Amino acid sequence: MDLTLLHAGTDIRLGRELGRGGEGTVHELQEDPGRVAKRYAEPADPRKVRKLVAMTLAANPALLGIAAWPSDLLKDGNGAVWGFVMPRVASKQDIHELYSPKSRSEAFPQADFRLVVHVAANVAKAFAVLHAQGHVVGDVNHGNLLVGPDGTVTLIDCDSFQVTNGIDVYTCDVGVPLFMAPELQGRTLRGLQRTQNHDRFGLAVLLFHLLYMGRHPFAGRYDGSDEMPIERAIEEYRFAYGADRRANRMERPPGTIPLEAMGADIAEQFEQAFSRAGAEGRPDARAWIGALERLASGLRLCEAANWHHYPGTLVACPWCGVEETTGARLFGPKLAAEPFGDVIDLEAILREIGTIDGPGPDSRTAVRTPVEAAPGGGQAARPRRTAAAGRRPASGGRTRGPGGGAGRRHENEGRMGADVGPVAAAGVPGRVRSAPPPRVGSLRGARGLPR
């Protein structure tokens, strides 16, 4: 099929396929290595075309610098629109690969907490740019932000965003409940106009995931006889780390740091974002930028572990306490055991161990920032908790809305990534390799970009 760029008026040739999903395929552009094309399996309907035209007319250096924003449309000889071109995003990973300690050791082996805070500030800056242009992400989730090894971030799946041209508003009709504000839980999203304040809730959840080692702010231990899935906890404002958590019969999971560990400034903003008062006004992206830059400037190096950096307002490193409690390594590459060879002489190894003097008292027994251990010591017990983020619903997989179909995400060039949910709500921090959180509303495919 011969395709032409709508605005540029030039013919275009699609190159190698980089990935595919439910909506279509992503291709290289033979004459333009800095951009890629998303080609739909079917021509876009009239409303979709109007939205894409509005997005391409709104494209500017600020948006193109932080997002895979459509910059031109693909049309055939009859004028039907078959997709769009956008900036190419290379060498970047989904953000959950950074905030989950287990996957961080593989995807970002050199990352320490300084990079995590830097990324958090860049996420807030990306939201600030988008909001300044009058647009809304809508479907904030763990898979529509990509992170580079240098900490730069890129918003993807932009054709699902809520976009306005000053006259018309083209809504975002999908969402992931784990990132949706309490006032949106259970509502039909098709045709619903989102606000920047709704985005601010999802932004706060993303930032919490980053700063608190992949934990969800509403995933905790619930002191009740009934079930408390995360979606219900969000709807009922049961923030598991908040000052009123006990009044809400919630407590943070074992092996986690308290909210105030990041300092009063950060703690206050999370309290505001996740409280009932937040429905009237949550901290905006610029407020987060300031708080996160102040946090970054005050980080100090741990004396016991030189791969730990922690807030300077604390008297001791909280990451040492988490690692001692959970047995998880929070930063740095995986530690691999040296092979013994083809034959293992267990008796010889035991004799060698017997000749080694004990280490003596632990030099790191300084006062730690409070980290809750499992009752009775040892490995963290599984508490009664809200459902783990990323858990497959009873019906299995994604929920479908009107006219929707589940698609897969591009994870690398020519390869579709596994659907991966955020970190589990309790136990040793890690990645849940199950279906992603269900998305409500109509679904889309061919989401994401090659990295």
Catalytic residues: 139
Q: Which of 84, 89, 97, 103 is nearest to 154 (CA)?
A: 89
318: which residues sit within 8 A by CB, 6+ positions away?
A: 257, 261, 310, 368, 369, 371
What is the rounded distance in angstroms from the CA atom of residue 292 to the CA atom of residue 117?
A: 7
Yes or no: say if 206 and 145 are a contact pair by the CB < 8 Å rule: yes
76: which residues sit within 8 A by CB, 6+ positions away?
A: 1, 2, 3, 4, 43, 82
62: which residues sit within 8 A by CB, 6+ positions away?
A: 129, 132, 133
What is the rounded distance in angstroms from the CA atom of residue 411 to the CA atom of residue 94?
A: 8
Which run of H or E residues covers position 355? none
Yes or no: say if 134 and 316 are a contact pair by the CB < 8 Å rule: no
Pair of tokens at residue 230? 């995360």
Question: What number of other Cβ atoms are within 10 A of residue 382's Cβ?
Answer: 12
The radius of gyration computed from the CA coordinates of the chain, to the nearest angstrom, equals: 24
